[in-house]
Structures are given as C-alpha cells and as structure tokens.
A and B are shown apart, each in its own frame.
Chain A
Amino acid sequence: MAELTYRDAVIRGIAQEMTRDPDVVFLGEDVAKAGGVFKATVGLYEQFGPLRVRDTPISEQAIMGAAMGAAMTGLKPIAEIMFSDFFAVCFDYIANEFPKSRYMSNGQVKCPLVIRTGNGAGSRFGAQHSQSVENWCMMIPGLKVVAPSSPVDVIGLLAAAVRDPDPVIFCEHKSLYATKGEVPDGEIVDQLGTAKILRPGKDATIVALALMVPRALEAAEKLKAEHGIDCEIIDVRSLVPLDTQTILGSVAKTHRLFSVEENPRLCGWGAEIVSIVADEAFYDLDGPPVRITTPHIPLPAADILEDVVLPTPGRIVDTVRRSLGS
C-alpha cells in the first residue's frame, strides 16, 4: 500500500498495461519526451522507448485516426487528447468512426482503443479549456465512457479500459491530478460498468462523478453532522456501461435521489439517471429527484466566477437540506 497522486496513478496505470502487453502503444501531443502538459505521463518514454511512446504533431484528427487504424489492425493504442475541449476538433472519430465501425461492418472491424483526456474545470482556463464533456460522448452508441475520481480507480479503470474490446473514452479530471489516495501494491484491474457506494446512508442517494465525488462526500459529512441527514454517496465512475442496479438499489433504500454534475445542465448525464429512476423506481421515491449541475452557460475564467457556477459542497448541502425539508 502506498499513497499516490491521481497524476502518478495515470502513469502507473499506463505502465502496468504497457508492461503486460507489448501491443499497448501510446501517442499524443507532448506526451513522450516532455511527459505531458499535466505531467501525467512522465517517465513512460524513458521506460518503454520511442517506438511505443510517441509524440505527435498538434493534429487531433491524425491522433484519433492513427489510434483507430492501429486498433483495427491489432494494436491496443492509448491516445491522449490534451484537453477534452479539443474533442470538438476531432469529433468525427468520436461520433462517426470508431464507435460505428463494428456495427456498420457487421462485426468485422474491431476498435479496442482508449482515448485519455484532461476533463473538467477548476484551473481558471475559461470556456475552451475547462469543460466537462463526458455527456458529449455518453450519447453515442458504441462508445464506453469512464471518469474516475480517485487514484486507485484511475489505475483499475484504465487497466479495464485498455483490456476492453470496445473504444473507451477515459476522462481524467484536471483538478484531481494533485489529489492523493491509498493504492495497493501489485496489479490493479477494475471493471467497467460498476458504480461504487463510497458512503452508505439511509436518507438520500447522491450520485456524483469525478471532481463532484469528493465534493459530495464533503457535503455528506456536513449534512450528517449539522442536519442529521444521512446520505449515501455513489461514485458512478462509468457512464457507459451504466450500473443502474447499484443506483436503483440505493434509491429503494433511501427514497430520494440527487445528482451532482459538473457538465452544463441540458442533457447532462444525471438527466438519464433521473429518467431511469423515474421510469423504474417511481414508487420508491418520496420526493422529486433533484439535479445539482453547472448552469447552462459557457464557463467563465475568473476564479471567483468559476467557483460560483460549479456545484460546491455548500450548494449540495443547501439543496439536499431544502429538499428534505429540514
């Protein structure tokens, strides 16, 4: 057992898989010699050499296409798109190419690849370098979408993503890179499509993702200590496949549902979960499900503005407390 940062967990996860399988290769902008702009790939070039860890030009379409062509023909590429906002310049591959090739070819073409990307706000970078775009990807049939919140999950879910035969979008949260967590020694392999109950509770279910997970946990402590409300916190972790059973089971116990989402409100991932719970567990609910999200705005750059628009522990506490009428 060792304490590791989320950033170092990315390095360890990639290294674990590259050590295991010589067909795992890695490409992206500034990822090799420079070790990545977030320093989340430091040492991989030195460890695995220039044939397996490759710097690319600033050509997101070439990165995505190259990963796809390599995956179709037998490699297991990991590609980095530096900021998830840049998905917009290579969205053809995310929306049209690698998720649809298996279906359109009637199963002939396989696309086992992982796209890692720096996602989310908190760095005061403004509207084009701060977005949470997991919901852009969630709506596309054929993709899998993962967003870990802790170092141990980074390693385990990255390993699962690399070993998965489908294309996986792996959202790393930029504001979590410096956070730390306990990580066991040895190989770590997790399972896609599994949510985790991080804190059991009986009064309300709060589902959260990535940076919103520690905020929900902090809110839960306050709600318990100051208001006597006992919240169950679920880290959704994997949007596709989605572990609805864990969520429905929790709602059956607590009878209330809250989502905490960093993505802007419209068509955020929480809307799908609320819809599923409304369809399938309506009579378990003692009150309306409530979504706590970033408003439907581009993100402002200024620190005091950005801090106000993202869901905070304070906003979560207030929303849950008001909804439960205490």
Chain B
Amino acid sequence: MLPIKEILDADVVIAGGGIGGLMAAVAAARAGASTVVLEKAHTKRSGSGAGGNDHFACYIPEVHGDLATAREAILGSLVGGDQDRDVLDASLMRSREVVDMWHSWGINMKPRGDWLFEGHAFPGRPRAFLKYDGSNQKKVLTAQALRAGAVIVNHSPVLELLPVPGGMGGVLALDTSEEKPSFRIVRAKAVILATGNPCRLFVSANTPGLMFNIGVCPACTGESIAQFWRVGGALVGMDRGYRHAGPRYSSRCGKATWLGVYRYPDGSPIGPFTTVPSRETSDITGDIWNSSFSDLMVNGTGPAIMDCGGASEDDLKHMLWAMGCEGLTGFLAQMKQEGVDPGRHGVVFGQYEPHGIRGIEINPETGTNLPGVYAVGDHVGNFRTNIGGAAVFGLISGEQAASYAAGASPCQDVENSPWARERMAYYSTFAGRSSGATWQECNHAIQQILTDFAAPGPHKVRSASLLKSGLKFIGDMRRRVDAELCTPTAHELMRASETLAIMDMGEIMIRCALERKESRGNMQRSDYPFTNPMLNGQFIRIVNGENGPEISWRPIHR
C-alpha cells in the first residue's frame, strides 16, 4: 500500500483550483470555514483558464435592463438552451456582484473603459458575453483565496470522495510533488467539486496520434464526475458531447475572438449573418452551424477558412490584444514563428473532438443529491455559461458549503473506512507493478472505442448495435487495464487515475446514449432517425444505484 503522506482536517475541501474552485475557496474561508483547496497542478496557472479568458457571461442591469434579456441572449448562444432556467437565473442574479469583485481585485473587467459585450452574438441582438482581460485571473484569484485564509495544496489531485453515513467525510488525494506517489487525506464535512470539462474521451481530431493537442486543457478530465458517480451522485445529460472548432492543426478554443468571416476557399461567405469582419459580433455561423467545418470537408467544398482580410488595422489590433487576454499567447507566438498574419492570411478551421459531455446535477444553490457535496464549473450537467457561471457558482457554493459544515459533525476516521481502504489498495496496485501497460495505452484504447462506437456527429451515427458493442469492448478493456496498468511515478499514476475516470464516463455516456431512442442535434441514431417531440425539454438522469445504473428522464426546468 502506498503511504499516506499527510492527513488534513477542514470544514470544506475543494477538488480543483480553477475559477470555480478558487472562488469557492474565497467564499468559504470568508464565511469562517476552514478551507482546503486540492489542485492537480498549481492554482496560479492551471486548467483551461491558465493563461486567461476573455468572455464572461453575465447580467449587467444598466446594459441589459431586465434579467430576461441576458438570459435569452445566453440561451440563444453556443452554450445553448439545455439548462435549468432556475439554475441559470441564480447564476445571473449574482453575476454583477462577481464582476465588480473581480474588477476590484485587479482583473480588468472593463479593459476598454466601459462595459463591452462582444462575440458569440447575432448582429443587432442583445449580447451576454462581457469582454474582459483574464490574463492574470488565476494569479489574482489564488492571492484572494490565500488572503481569505484558505489553504491551497498544489500538485495533489483528488482521487475519490469519501462519504460517511448521512454525509461526507472528506476526500482521498494523490501527492505528485515528489517522484514517488503517496496519498493525502483531507477529512472534511463538505466537499465542493470543481474539476472542469471532461476531455480526452475521444481521439484528437487535429492530430489523432497526439492526445494532448485539443482545444481545452488536456489535464481537465472531469474526474469529479466519475468520483461523484462512484458514490451515488446523480448526473444529467451525459450522452452529449460538444464539438468546438478552431484552427487546424494547432488546437485552441476561442473562435469567438476571431473577428473574421467564415468563407469558402473561393471567398464566398459560408453563412448568411455577416459578409465583413466584425469585432462586435464575430461570425455567429460558427456557433449555430457548428458542423459547417466538417460538412465542407465531407461535401468537398472546403476547407472552411476564417478570413479576417478586410478588417481595419484597429480591429485587427483589438483581436490580437483580445487573444492575449484569452490566454492564446502561445498561439500568437506560433503565428509569428510560422509567418501567419491574420490580416493577410485566412486560417483553416476545423471541428475538434467532442468534449464537455455534461455531468453533475446541481440545484440553484449548487447542492447535489448527496448531502454535503456541491459542484460548480464546466462539469455541471444542467447549467453552462463557462467562466462566468463557474465564478458565480463558485462563490455561492463556498457560502453554502460553509453554512452546511457549520452544522455538520466532524468525521475522525474517514481514512479507515472500507471504501477508503479499498480505493487506496486499488491505486497502490498500479504503483506496485514493475512492468505492464502505460496509462497512454489505456487512454488511447478508451478513445478508440468511444470514437468508433459512441461518437456524437456530425457524420457519425450511434445505434443500439454500435453502443452495445462499445459497452462490451469497454468491459474487455477494463479487465486488461486492472490486470496490467503500471504507473512507476506519481505523475503517471495521476494520468492513470484520469484515464480510469474517462473509462467510467465513457461507459456512462454509452448507457445514456442507449436510452435516447431518437436523433437530436449531433446525437444521431441510425436506428431511430427521427426527433421524438415527447422528449423535447427533457434531461436523461443517471444514478449508480445499489442494483446498478438507474436511468430516468426529467423535465428541464423552465
């Protein structure tokens, strides 16, 4: 058995030090709770917001008037309508407060002097994405969490939740600060899950052999979803998968920052919304005809080209500045090195692999079906506004968890619970082998199976035959992984634990996809090629019950 390096006691433990996790830490610590953040890498520079972001979904009353205007702008944008309105509204109601908070801390929410809403927008319609300069966001939020009194433990990814009868007892984590792996236990009365988007489920669309060339941070594998599931947590929307788009072959999300027009190679626009570059709206075609990039390759009229030619010098300068705010400094350097001038060149765009299958079901206070467990950020299943939502619900979850912890009893001995011992023994097995399968083999294997048998479209179909075959092959793979996986270092054990979570999520996705006996959006069933109106406005909900997975449908809250 690997050693336990450290046992910490806290009221609230937070899994993941991204935007949501750090905001939760600020709020929980300010509310008087002893708070520990466990972060896989380093909170100053981790996750998809490591270098920055520049779109913050929010409701600013003096811009939008009533809340419904902001709400409708979000529901009509790429983040889409499949979210609970009560949860979305709860986020929007406090978004102005968080925007002001961030601005006062030194994250520039008015980098152009006043409120500026740009990107992911239709010409002439209300907009919900505030342009901001997030290039320092992780450092600022880290400093604020520490100032509030939270303890941040870097290089310590959470492996499992440790429930106790009637509540939560803490978490089991890994320590990767040294070559040799060891465990860390945090005993806590409340847990906030904030591990971000699930990625690395499907083969990289840009570079199939290189699984880390993907649009969002490849270290974000949404492990909380799998950990929550293992102890009975309820998930929603898990059959979905969003496919972002961006430059080929250097994967990076952020297409709304590009202000050009999507064009065919002959110069004609792909969509009807704009014919000239626009920094205010960008070309919404990429959001609402998301499959266009793939469609043009399949029908032979492609490739789709992001063409900023004709933009003013001022607008081009603005775009390059915004890319810096968004954390695309690596991509900017690459363009320079490769002689790509966005004012003179069109850049080929393509769809990326699916990511961000949905996840944990929360209520408007970020609570879940498990007492003492809260969830925020991109791995939430019934709500999505990306950075803005993570920040606001981070704040709310910290307040809620602190309040819950104040009334809960401490758990003295959670590290000796049967579940904790079982899971520590499980992970120790891989670390104890001197030879065997690498985590990369296992990750490639699950990616291959999911890409072949369960991928969302376009130009891919699911069917009972394919999905059931996929489930069978995942089962076969699991047996080999358990028998052969070998992780000589702490780093490799971390990647392996991510891969094990991906396997769980892949299996859950297939089970939910089997339940959807219709075609909807990019989820195309060859055996049910129609959209069933009876399933409009419904989420698939799945819980790991005592007798196995329990699947049901429930209405999306309107």
Q: Do A and B bind each other?
A: no
Q: Which positions in B face A, CB cutoff 8 Å? A: none
**Chain A residues within 8 Å of B, Cβ to Cβ:** none
